[in-house]
Amino acid sequence: MDSTSGVEYSRLITQLRALAKNPPRDDALCQKLYDAAQSLAVAVETPGDTVQRIAYSPLQLITARIAGDLSLFQLLAENAGQPLTLQQLTEKTKADQVLLRRILQYLVSMEMIKQAAEDQYSANNITNTLAYPGLMAGIYHNSDSHAPSYQALPKFLASTGYENPSNVANCAFQIGHNTDKPPFVWVIEHPEYFHNFNVWMSASREGQKTWLDVVPFEKEFCQDLKPDTPLFVDVGGGIGQQCLALKTRFPNLPGRIILQEMPQTLPQVLPVDGMEKMAHDFWTLEPVQGKSPSKNRPNLIHLFGMCERMTKPVSFHAGARVYYLRNIMHDYPDEKCIIILQQIMKAMNSSSVIAIDDMILPNCGASWRAAALDMTMMASMAAMERTEKQWLALLDAAGLKMKKRYTYTEELQDSVILAVPK
């Protein structure tokens, strides 16, 4: 490197450090800067850096989890930007001081917290992020539920001769958690893990664009709508986040808003004015349908082959305008998705659509986050994220076609597919 280049690089380094202290507020620009910085970091690292970066990467999740257990992020974030000493943190956490200093040392090295001086620590933007309970729930969820599956994945794939996983009851999850149960059955039996999952799902998209920002909901679905018409059925809708978002965006919509979930989840559902709660398992016939079977038939909830008879009969209604599936399809292989879709198709009328809210991967150049989610689906669910070609093939196999597609995030290509029978 000649002296001229050295001067130019020195200026560039100075500019990058200044930018790090005062980053832009534009989200799109920040994403481009982040991607460029990541590419630069990989391009300039030595072989030793590469091996150590990969080899030690699990420590970030584990140490963040330990810091969460000790409430370190919250303690620093709540101190209004002022540093706390090692002694103060020792007194607040009750942890051994030598151990605590080692944990803090690692957190500083990963820039999860700042070190103001020797044995003085303060919050930065990452600290503030991880101090938020909803986002910290993502650390707990991945540490408790997904990390054991990641660890078991090499052994599982080798045992199958490297076949693509497709059986949710026989995948790396069972090895990692030493269970014979599918993940959604297992997690219900572990209330703390189930709570972290639901909290993380609620918080993970806060402040980001949503499907309601791009789908012209009233124009698409609300023509000639009567108050007793089922408008929006959130199938497997968790604790009701999307029903709440819809009612918040359109508080005066006519028509019924219905959340369908397993009975074990319903006690955790958010209070949403005007939202109906219905116990339903999407492996069975969709009960909100255009042609009513016997109104006194009991609802049978099937948990991967285990059957529970509900005490209350299910009410049947006219078919819904929208059957909404958010992040459901990516949990299952194609043959299972077809079952779910066809159970809904039997309930549809001529005005109905199935709205599938999921990622659509590009055929080339998927983002690291999208690719990581796909590997997570493989390890924990024997499932996958799909490209547009794969989505079209799945819909076709189920007897559906894509009517429209609305994409609302650039990086992950989160999209809503409106599907109707062929």
Q: Which amino acid is at 106?
A: Y
Model confidence band, residue 1 (pLDDT cutoffs 50, 70, 90): low
Residue 358: closest CA among 411, 421, 407, 323: 407
Q: What integer is the mean pLDDT of 167-193?
A: 93
State the pLDDT at residue 4.
57
3-state secondary structure of 378: helix
For 130-177, what is each residue's pLDDT tens digit? 999 999 999 999 999 999 999 999 999 999 999 999 999 999 999 999
Residue 361: pLDDT above 70? yes
pTM, whole model, 2 decimals?
0.81
State the pLDDT at residue 2.
57
Q: What integer is the mean pLDDT of 244-251?
A: 95
**What is the DSSP code (8-state) at residue 212?**
G
Give the whole-angstrom CA distance, residue 267 versus residue 167. Answer: 29
* Percent of the chain at pLDDT exceeding 90: 75
Give the whole-angstrom CA distance, residue 415 versus residue 215. Answer: 10
Query: Taken in order 222, 226, 229, 232, is the CA torsion positive or negative?
Result: positive
Q: What integer is the mean pLDDT of 75-90?
A: 95
For 36-53, give the secondary structure using H, E and C: HHHHHHHHHCCHHHHHHH
